[in-house]
Structure 1
Amino acid sequence: MQLGHFIKSKTNLPIKGIENTIQLLNEDCTVPFISRYRKERTGNLDEVQIGDIVKYKAQFEELEKRKGSILKSLDEQGVLTDDLKLKITNTSDLTALEDVYLPYKKKRKTKAETALKIGLEPLSKIIMSQNATDIHSIAVKYLNDEVATAVDALEGARYIIAEWINERTDIRNNIRYQLEKFAAINTKVIKSKQEDEKAQKYRDYFEWSESLNRIPSHRLLAILRAEKEGVIRVKIEIDDDRAVTKVEERVIRSNNECSLQIKLAIQDSYKRLLFPALSNEILSLAKQKADEGSINVFAKNLKQLLLGAPLGEKTILAIDPGFRTGCKIVCLNAQGALVHNETIYPHAPKNDAIGAMKKINSLVAAYKIEAIAIGNGTASRETEQLIRKMRFNKDVEVFVVSEAGASIYSASKIARDEFPNYDVTVRGAVSIGRRLVDPLAELVKIDAKSIGVGQYQHDVDQTKLKTSLDTVVESCVNSVGVNINTASVPLLSYVSGIGQKLAENIVNYREEKGAFNSRNDIKKVTRLGNKAFEQSAGFLRIKNGENPLDNSAVHPESYTIVSKIAKDLKMSVSNLIGNKEVLQKIELQKYCTNPVGLPTLKDIVAELEKPGLDPRKKAKVFTFNQNIRSINDLHEGQLLPGIVNNITNFGCFVDIGIKESGLVHVSNLADKFVSDVGEIVSLHQQVIVKVLEVDVARKRIQLSMNHK
């Protein structure tokens, strides 16, 4: 099967679009570039569809690589026939390929191999022919120095038959079918762990049974984590008698002494070879499916977080709150640069609230502060209440900002390079302030796994998780666009075609030569060649540059089209930009060429209507219920404002302004059945929730959004 047809069989996308996308990928084009600027080539495929092509292209290449390895092994063994080669070449599934290879695969020493070496294969074939009537008499003929009795000979023959049965694809597939349909996953606590305090978080699974094909991904991952930590034992079970009977129906066609021997061999093969291998396989596949579900949830959450509402370029006073160590304060100018820092002690044990308020007032006035950002960690509510008591002589908006991952950033090399003369507490406060200004620009500096918006992220396949999250970050960065004259190295590194090294070169150039005045100046950056320019230019923005199009998503390769449109309308490009009335009357068909069609022209016009428009919403002030300070203040029936701070497959968690977030189970999200939590809520959504249950001892809060 060819690559294009393999991908079509998996995606059902048009073959022409698949093949053109593959060609673009082979030319080192990135997914954001292809989806945005090569719509005519792909047939207007979106990022998700192109991402699927990338995924299945990698799968196909892995399959082909494995085929090559197997063919080489078979050739070296001298067993590669034309039929076998054709069978392997035509296989389009990795599991099926391994089944074909299984009889020839080099194995560690087995009972069957020992039996073959002592000459018992002919006896095995006689038994499998199922024609012999006195098999014990026949077995006696195979006695030798290593086979003492007929019983030993028959046992050895059965080992060979057991392996033949294990290697039959039809039998393996039948047991796979039964495992897929009927397997149950059962758990049992290890007695020594039953009273272990650390194991109590898994007590729901001390004795558990559930259909494997119906178990939710979060529950399977929790069970497997408990097993890994030595708390429980996990078993996969099906109806063994039924499974063995199904094998017998495929193998036995007589009712004599041979069939009795085959029955024994089938039972041995099932118990020792087939079931252990295939039950592990089905559990592994279930784990992969659970991983995929968990990674998808993480990816969706991360995207919503990265595309969170920015406040924009404002002067910020950011506070990293604390009790004993005080509240770290930083002042940032409109470009996010640190201009002042110090520590105040408004809370216990010093309780200098009056001094703290005076200091904040003076800083707000001195640095013309427009907004205050308060981290949502320890002492956050107390600090917020303090700030809201204050009266400033100008409008100052107050925001509570998530601290998730801020400590990771503050101790990172990126933070040390940015602020070599400041300690981690100052860097953390800066991160809180900058997150308010532009969440995307700040959060890309942190390992996505540290942001804490997924489920069981440490239990899933780490390579797949990283690939998925990197793809999300790349997509978000390129969908928003990046100001090349202010962006950090981490932010620039996610721009299509750039990467870490070129990002460093761009910043070095900027520091040595000053700001970029045009997109053409980008070509002067060391080692930034034509390909990198082609892939990146449309996503890099230059404000107040020589060409107004440089601050838009119009690619430089399309500047001549815009100039022609402007010339035909007897207008300058500057006057054309933002002139919605004129732009909507353009006859786009007049400007279609072989490489440029209506999809690209429509994108150009849409961009000219609102050039460089940030697709994100603007940040809004939110206030928690000021009477709720701890879990002890909660009681059933309360209606409270909250912010969704995590989404999982089983519901969402809501921050109601205290240390513990509450869970809105999927069954309490709406007055209808909910199959996808993400269809009901989004990260950072402001909601009203009802308190259903409060478990102070376990620090668990059950909430509902279905309270109308």
Structure 2
Amino acid sequence: MSLLSYITKNTNLPEVSVKNTISLLNDACTVPFISRYRKEATGNLDEVQIGDIVKYKELFEALEKRKAAILKALEEQDVLTSELEQKVNNAQDITTLEDIYLPYKKSRKTKADTAKANGLEPLAKIIMSQNAHDIESIAYKYVKDAVGSVDDALESARHIIAEWINERTDVRNNIRYQLERFSTIATKVVKKKADEEDAQKFRDYFDWSESLSRIPSHRLLAILRAENEGFIRVKIEIDDERALDKIAQRIIKSDNECSDQIEIAIKDAYKRLLLPSLSNEALQKAKEKADEAAITVFAKNLKQLLLGSPLGEKRILAIDPGFRTGCKVVCLDAQGQLKHNETIYPHAPKNDSTGAIKKISTLAEAYKIEAIAIGNGTASRETESLIRRIRFKNDIQVFVVSEAGASIYSASKIARDEFPNYDVTVRGAVSIGRRLQDPLAELVKIDAKSIGVGQYQHDVDQTKLKTELDTVVESCVNAVGVNLNTASKSLLSYVSGIGPKLAENIVSYRDEHGAFSARTDLKNVPRLGDKAFEQGSAFLRIKDAKNPLDDSAVHPESYSIVKAIAKNEGKRVSELIGNSAVLNGIDLKPYCTDTVGLPTLKDIVKELEKPGLDIRERAKVFTFNQNIKTINDVQEGQLLPGIVNNVTNFGAFVDIGIKESGLIHISNLSDGFVSDVSAHISLHEQVIVKVLEVDIPRKRIQLKLHKS
């Protein structure tokens, strides 16, 4: 099986598209670059399809690596035959491969090994032939040394038979089938821990049973977390009698003393070897499936968060609110640079609201503030109420901004490098302000797991989670594009083909030589070679560049095409930009070449119509119900404005302006059946919700999505 056939079989994508994509990947091309600038080669595959090719390419390479390791181990054991080698090479998945290797994979001495060492393998073979009579007399011949009796001899022979049964691929696959189709996951509480406070959040699972194949991902992850924390015990169960009968049908071909011995061995193999191993395997596969579902939810949420609405280059006054320690206030210029910081104390215990209002008014005028960003944590509503009392001379918009992960950023090395002379409170306030200006540029500085927009992110496979989230960040950064002259190292590191080291070199070069005036200046950056320039240059923008194409998504390799189009239309390149009347009337076919086709040419024209267009919507002011300050103010039947702050497989959480977020359960998203939460609601969406239930002791609010 070749790499090409393996990927084509698993993706159902055209062979030529897969072949060309593999070639591009092997040539160190990135997914964003391939999907955007190599459409002719891939047959116009999108990022998701190319991502699938990457996934199956990695799976195939891992499979081949494991095959090589197994073949080497078999060769070292001097058991490798041409038939065995062929079996290994023909295996198309890891499970089949490991089953082939199982008889030769001994990590510790087994009962069967001991029995073989005591000379009982011939007796096991006699029993398995199922032709012998008076088996006890035959067994008596093997009673010697460590084998003290006929019963010992028969038991030892059964241990060998049990191991043979365990190693049979057909038997293992049949048990797998039953576990996959008919198994249940059952839980029991650990009684001595049942009354612990931390156990109460898992009390639904103190005595639970459900089909393993149908259990929702969030529930399985919750159960496994409860087990990991020692509150419950988990068991995978199937119909034992049915399973034993299926094994017996495959092995027992007679009705005599031998079959009696084999039946005992089957029960031993099933209970001691097959069921523990394969039920763990089934649970692990279910966990992997649940991980995949949870990671998909996290990835969708992260994408929506990163592509959240930016306010743009505006002068911001940002406030990180607090009570006893005061509210940290910072003033930022339009590029997010810190211009001023101080602390005000409008709330208890100092209650200096008059001084705070005066100070905010003065700062707003002095720094020509255009918008105010207030963190949504402690004292947020009180601070928002204070700000809305101020009568500013100019029209200043007020926004409440999510603080999720701000404390992680403020204590990070990135924040220390940016603001070495300021403490964490100042850095946190700066982060809040910058999030309003450009959520993407600021959030890339934070470990995505710390943003908290998923379900059970700490319980899933961390390597897979990181890979998927890094892919999402890379996709978002390159979809939006990056201002080469203002971007941070963190942001630049996600640009196609750049990475952390080149990002650092770009910033160092910019600090030393000043702003870049042309994309070609990138070639002067140390260690930024032709491949990195090819992969990254089109995703980097230069505002007010000499060549207007340097502030567009047109790749430098296509500049000559644009120049030819402009010449043939009797225009300068700058006169083409935004000129829809001319651009829409161009016949693109004469510009097609062996490597450039209509997909690329149409992309170029689309970009020239609106160069550098930000795909994100602009930030909109949102106001919570001013009468709702705490959960005690929330009443059943109320209609309240809110902002979705998390989406999971079981529903969406909504910020209604208080400490506790409310839950819209999946069943309350629509009057009809809902299978996919994200199809009905998205992160940061502004919604109206109806309050269904308020549980003050448990601090839970049940909501329903209100359709206006």
**TM-score for both structures, normalised by structure 2:** 0.99
- Per the alignment, residue 61 of structure 2 pairs with 61
Q: Which amino acid aligns with 2:550?
A: D
Q: Deviations over 1:564-607 (max 9, x none)?
A: 00000010000001101111111111100001011111111110
Q: Which amino acid aligns with 2:154?
A: L
- Per the alignment, residue 270 of structure 1 pairs with 270
Cα distance, 1:388 vs structure 2: 1.1
For residue 690 of structure 1, give the secondary structure of its aligned residue in structure 2: strand
Q: Which amino acid aligns with 1:642?
A: G
- Per the alignment, residue 257 of structure 1 pairs with 257
Structural mapping, 1:80-479, within 5 Å: 80-479=80-479
Q: Deviations over 1:423-449 (max 9, x none)?
A: 111110000000000000000000000
Q: Distance in 2 between matches of 1:464 and 1:401?
A: 29
Cα distance, 1:368 vs structure 2: 0.7
Contact kept in structure 2, 1:333 and 1:339, CA below 8 Å? yes
- Per the alignment, residue 630 of structure 2 pairs with 630
Q: Distance in 2 between matches of 1:599 and 1:44?
A: 8
Contact kept in structure 2, 1:135 and 1:258, CA below 8 Å? yes
- Per the alignment, residue 611 of structure 1 pairs with 611
> Which moved further from structure 2: 195-204 or 616-625?
195-204
Contact kept in structure 2, 1:21 and 1:41, CA below 8 Å? yes
- Per the alignment, residue 28 of structure 1 pairs with 28
Task: Name structure 2 gaps, 5 residues minimum.
Answer: none
Contact kept in structure 2, 1:668 and 1:705, CA below 8 Å? yes
Structural mapping, 1:512-551, within 5 Å: 512-551=512-551
Q: Distance in 2 between matches of 1:700 and 1:632?
A: 11
Q: Once superposed, what is the RMSD of the aligned Cα atoms?
A: 0.8
For residue 394 of structure 1, give the secondary structure of its aligned residue in structure 2: coil
Cα distance, 1:198 vs structure 2: 1.5
Cα distance, 1:147 vs structure 2: 1.3
Q: Which amino acid aligns with 2:456?
A: Y
Q: Distance in 1 between matches of 2:202 and 2:357?
A: 46
Cα distance, 1:82 vs structure 2: 1.3
- Per the alignment, residue 8 of structure 2 pairs with 8
Q: Distance in 2 between matches of 1:183 and 1:638?
A: 44
Q: Which amino acid aligns with 2:353?
A: A
Q: Deviations over 1:45-84 (max 9, x none)?
A: 1101111111111100000000001111111222211111
> Which moved further from structure 2: 77-86 or 476-485?
77-86
Q: Distance in 2 between matches of 1:78 and 1:428?
A: 63
For residue 308 of structure 1, give the secondary structure of its aligned residue in structure 2: coil
For residue 369 of structure 1, give the secondary structure of its aligned residue in structure 2: coil
Q: Distance in 2 between matches of 1:375 and 1:707?
A: 28
Contact kept in structure 2, 1:307 and 1:440, CA below 8 Å? yes
- Per the alignment, residue 37 of structure 2 pairs with 37
Q: Distance in 1 between matches of 2:379 and 2:690?
A: 25
Q: Distance in 2 between matches of 1:637 and 1:199?
A: 32
- Per the alignment, residue 499 of structure 2 pairs with 499
Contact kept in structure 2, 1:690 and 1:707, CA below 8 Å? no
Q: Deviations over 1:106-155 (max 9, x none)?
A: 23110001111111111111111111121111111112112121111111
Q: Which amino acid aligns with 1:23?
A: S
For residue 172 of structure 1, give the secondary structure of its aligned residue in structure 2: helix
Contact kept in structure 2, 1:668 and 1:706, CA below 8 Å? no
Contact kept in structure 2, 1:490 and 1:500, CA below 8 Å? yes
The percentage of counterpart residues that share the same residue type is 75
Contact kept in structure 1, 2:688 and 2:706, CA below 8 Å? no
Q: Which amino acid aligns with 2:529?
A: G
Q: Distance in 1 between matches of 2:433 and 2:76?
A: 64
**TM-score for both structures, normalised by structure 1:** 0.99
For residue 601 of structure 2, give the secondary structure of its aligned residue in structure 1: helix
Structural mapping, 1:555-574, within 5 Å: 555-574=555-574
For residue 317 of structure 1, give the secondary structure of its aligned residue in structure 2: strand
Task: Name structure 1 gaps, 5 residues minimum.
Answer: none
Q: Deviations over 1:410-467 (max 9, x none)?
A: 1111111111111111110000000000000000000000001011010000000000
Contact kept in structure 2, 1:671 and 1:706, CA below 8 Å? no
Q: Which amino acid aligns with 2:331?
A: C
Q: Distance in 1 between matches of 2:80 and 2:339?
A: 73
Q: Distance in 1 between matches of 2:280 and 2:315?
A: 57
Cα distance, 1:28 vs structure 2: 0.6
- Per the alignment, residue 667 of structure 2 pairs with 667
Cα distance, 1:8 vs structure 2: 1.0
Contact kept in structure 1, 2:130 and 2:253, CA below 8 Å? yes
Q: Distance in 2 between matches of 1:80 and 1:677?
A: 52
> Which moved further from structure 2: 310-319 or 102-111?
102-111
Q: Distance in 2 between matches of 1:703 and 1:675?
A: 18
Q: Deviations over 1:352-374 (max 9, x none)?
A: 11111111111111111110000
Cα distance, 1:707 vs structure 2: 6.2
Q: Distance in 1 between matches of 2:413 and 2:141?
A: 76
- Per the alignment, residue 18 of structure 1 pairs with 18
Q: Distance in 2 between matches of 1:561 and 1:519?
A: 17
Q: Distance in 2 between matches of 1:75 and 1:388?
A: 77
Q: Distance in 2 between matches of 1:516 and 1:107?
A: 60
Q: Distance in 1 between matches of 2:57 and 2:5?
A: 11
Cα distance, 1:535 vs structure 2: 0.4
Q: Distance in 2 between matches of 1:706 and 1:131?
A: 75
Q: Deviations over 1:138-193 (max 9, x none)?
A: 11111211212111111110000000000000000000000001111111111110
Q: Distance in 1 between matches of 2:198 and 2:571?
A: 72
Q: Distance in 1 between matches of 2:510 and 2:664?
A: 48
Cα distance, 1:706 vs structure 2: 4.9
Cα distance, 1:9 vs structure 2: 1.2
For residue 415 of structure 1, give the secondary structure of its aligned residue in structure 2: helix
Q: Deviations over 1:255-296 (max 9, x none)?
A: 110010000000000000000000000000000001111001
Q: Which amino acid aligns with 1:383?
A: T
For residue 336 of structure 2, give the secondary structure of its aligned residue in structure 1: coil
Q: Distance in 1 between matches of 2:707 and 2:695?
A: 20
